[in-house]
């Protein structure tokens, strides 16, 4: 471990804090989304004050990436109860106040260990759900940065003086998961029909306004190392879609597609477009408009077919492990495929790049042809900032420059 790092409360960080923090996510009662990443850890022990030994059940070529996951921040050993909400860590800013769903206010950590980072004296982070209100706040200088620019009006924002629009290609993608353990989605003919009934090109053009590219019904983005670039691109084919739906005996079935713009900006419009696409295949879709509030608690993984959004993950293993493996915490289709799960374990331990690539390409093909998730498009992250701000190369991992813009950015003067 790097020595001499202080927590926000002045305590020096040691190996004990690392072990406590990792075990917090591994615990029996843990509901952490990172728990699946840590299943391979059989034991953690210290070797002195600043060394940690991880004993794994099997090979894990991506283990360093796993430890860098955003869920796994290091907190002081012994943290419990309400102490978690104090946000005591080792980052560039110390949390002063926090109102969940409203705002957070933090001040610069004077003892931050990274040279040349965390330049702002104070940072206020606001939750402004309404797109127009968020955009107006940027236009009037009330905020310096906003994510999720409204794509319908981005061309107007680009013309505004003093504002920079940023479009970054990353691992983010839109999905339409269906619960494969519920009828009629337990029939792969139905799943295949619905995948073929989506006009992906039209969605990229009309929903993303060109800020993205078509998806191929698996979650591995074109920027990922082992993206299956040679896998045949699925295209809109109403006749084939009708064939598969007729084979399933469900041409008279009405499919409820649950949508809210809480899933992603334009999700309801996308669902309506998909309904129109499917009509040409004789497939009937009823778009159920859900409230934005509580969408992720009451609709996602609860209703049989929904609109969804994923920020993606930096490695194939992390993406598959958190959302597609049989026991994945966010397996939002309840999909199980034995061959896929065997390949996932084997690829995780494989160090030969060519062999590993073939395994991940095979897994993407299995997802594409058997999985319960339609992945119609990969989106660019379109954000906007005041031209008073400066920054280096943008991360494509997540929004806000990989969720580190407050650490990496600075004011020009």
Q: Mean pLDDT in the chain?
A: 95
User: Pairing mode, if any, of strands 381-386 and 254-259?
Assistant: unpaired
Q: How far is CA 122 from the centre of its chain?
A: 27
| Neighbouring C-beta atoms of residue 375, cutoff 10 Å | 27
Confidence at 413, pLDDT banded by 50, 70, 90: confident
Read off the tokens for 281.
């295949």
Edge-first strand order for the sheet with 173-177 is 212-214, 373-379, 173-177, 308-310
- What is the pTM (predicted TM-score) of this model? 0.84
pLDDT in tens, 388-398: 999 999 998 88
**Is a pLDDT exceeding 90 seen at residue 232?**
yes
Q: Scanning the structure block, which residue is given the tokens 């690392």?
A: 18
Predicted local distance difference test score (pLDDT) of residue 311: 87
Terminal-residue alpha carbon distance, the chain: 36
pLDDT in tens, 263-302: 998 999 999 999 999 999 999 999 999 999 999 999 999 9
**Mean pLDDT within 174-198:** 98
DSSP SS3 for 256:
strand
**Is a pLDDT exceeding 90 seen at residue 252?**
yes
What does residue 288 show for φ and ψ, rounded to 5 degrees? -100, 110
Give the residue among 46, 42, 43, 26 at the shortest CA–CA distance from 34. 26
**Is a pLDDT exceeding 90 seen at residue 34?**
no
Predicted local distance difference test score (pLDDT) of residue 265: 86
What does residue 385 show for φ and ψ, rounded to 5 degrees? -145, 160
What does residue 131 show for φ and ψ, rounded to 5 degrees? -65, -45
Read off the tokens for 186.
């337990």
**Is a pLDDT exceeding 90 seen at residue 349?**
yes
What whole-number distance in Å separates Cα of residue 334 and Cα of residue 412?
A: 49
């Amino acid at each position: 471990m790097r020595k001499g790092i202080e927590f926000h409360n002045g305590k020096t960080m040691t190996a004990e804090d690392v072990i406590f923090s990792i075990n917090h996510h591994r615990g029996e009662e843990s509901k952490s989304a990172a728990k699946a990443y840590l299943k391979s850890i059989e034991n953690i022990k210290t070797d002195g004050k600043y060394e940690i030994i991880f004993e794994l059940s099997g090979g894990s070529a991506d283990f360093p990436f796993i430890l860098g996951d955003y869920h796994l921040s290091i907190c002081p050993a012994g943290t419990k109860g309400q102490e978690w909400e104090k946000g005591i860590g080792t980052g560039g800013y110390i949390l002063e106040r926090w109102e969940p769903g409203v705002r957070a206010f933090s001040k610069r950590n004077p003892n931050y260990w990274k040279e040349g980072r965390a330049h702002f004296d104070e940072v206020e982070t606001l939750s402004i759900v309404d797109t127009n209100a968020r955009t107006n706040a940027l236009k009037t200088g009330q905020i310096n940065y906003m994510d999720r620019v409204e794509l319908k009006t981005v061309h107007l924002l680009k013309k505004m003086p003093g504002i920079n629009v940023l479009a970054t290609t990353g691992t983010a993608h839109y999905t339409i998961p269906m619960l494969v353990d519920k009828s009629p989605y337990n029939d792969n003919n139905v799943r295949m029909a619905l995948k073929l009934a989506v006009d992906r090109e039209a969605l990229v053009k009309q929903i993303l306004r060109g800020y993205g590219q078509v998806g191929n019904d698996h979650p591995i983005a074109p920027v990922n190392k082992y993206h299956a670039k040679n896998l045949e691109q699925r295209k809109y084919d109403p006749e084939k879609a009708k064939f598969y739906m007729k084979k399933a005996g469900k041409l008279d079935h009405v499919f409820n597609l649950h949508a809210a713009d809480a899933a992603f900006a334009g999700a309801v419009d996308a669902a309506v477009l998909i309904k129109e696409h499917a009509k040409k295949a004789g497939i009937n879709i009823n778009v159920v408009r859900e409230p934005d509030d509580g969408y992720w608690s009451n609709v996602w993984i609860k209703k049989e077919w929904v609109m969804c959004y994923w920020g993606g993950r930096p490695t194939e293993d992390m993406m598959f492990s958190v959302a597609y493996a049989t026991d994945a915490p966010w397996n939002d289709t309840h999909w199980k495929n034995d061959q896929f799960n065997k390949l996932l374990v084997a690829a995780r331990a494989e160090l030969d790049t060519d062999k590993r690539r073939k395994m991940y390409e095979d897994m993407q093909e299995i997802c594409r042809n058997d999985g319960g998730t339609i992945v119609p498009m990969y989106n660019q992250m379109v954000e906007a900032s005041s031209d008073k701000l400066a920054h280096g190369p943008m991360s494509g991992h997540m929004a806000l420059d990989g969720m580190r813009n407050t650490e990496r950015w600075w004011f020009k003067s």
